[in-house]
Amino acid sequence: MPKSTLSELEKKTGRKFENIEYLRTAVTHSSYANECGRETPYNERQEFLGDSVLSVIVSDYLYRSTHLSEGDLTKLRAILVCEKSLCAFARSISLGSYMLLGRGEENTGGTDRPSILADAFEAVIAAVYLDGGIEAARSFVIPFIETALETERKKSLDDYKTLLQEIVQKNPQETLQYVLVDESGPAHDRRFEVEVLLNSNVVGHGVGKSKKAAEQLAAKEALKLMGQ
């Protein structure tokens, strides 16, 4: 791999590596090492380490930044560290274009294969960790996590009201209404309190920093009441 190409990836990690070989290993697939026919380091061991480092960083971040229950923390962490998410993180920095693959893997689309990209991303996390420690790894990982959390938040804000509406529509005689019952706080930190009524009965209550967020939380509570 040309040094300038590896340097491009180095810049994307936000770190000037003391030992650039950690990064080179992170993008070296076993198929490439096997074809080289010599003791060429490849990324499986770093992937193993990166998986654990990622789990610690994400767990710590979610614990400190949310008030979710243990069950919800576990579910959210699973979403953030699954292959689909890691592959998306890898694609966001064009990690596939830096991969060293055997000819067979490369010819069959290995540079964009989700499993290869996800594993390589974990190996890059390990590279940053090995070279700079846990804080360096945290600085690299957290922006990806924050972006993914925002995506999940937007999904949830779309899902609860829609699901509740779909359930209620199965009974045409029933009506659903969201009522703003309180609004407080300064302009930069508003607090909205909403109730959702099924016919005239309150079935959910939500508080959020926007009316929309409060409505979604109210819908979520209503869904729980309905056993959804």
Please choose, from the candidates 118, 119, 140, 148, the residue with its C-alpha nearest in 3D space to the C-alpha of residue 17: 140
Which among 122, 131, 215, 221 is annotated as catalytic? 122
- Max CA distance (Å), the chain: 75
* φ, ψ dihedrals at 93, nearest 5°: -115, 15
Integer Cα distance of 196 and 176 in angstroms: 7
User: With contact defined as beta carbons under 8 Å apart, do 31 and 104 qualify?
Assistant: yes
Our answer to whether residue 51 is catalytic in this structure is yes
Question: How distant, in Å, are the alpha carbons of 99, 128, 137 from that of 16?
Answer: 19, 10, 13
Which among 8, 21, 44, 51 is annotated as catalytic? 51
Please choose, from the candidates 92, 90, 95, the residue with its C-alpha nearest in 3D space to the C-alpha of residue 6: 95
Sign for the CA dihedral angle at 5, 58, 85, 78 comes to positive
Integer Cα distance of 185 and 210 in angstroms: 11
In the sheet where 201-208 sits, what is the strand order? 176-184, 191-198, 201-208
Active-site positions read 51, 122
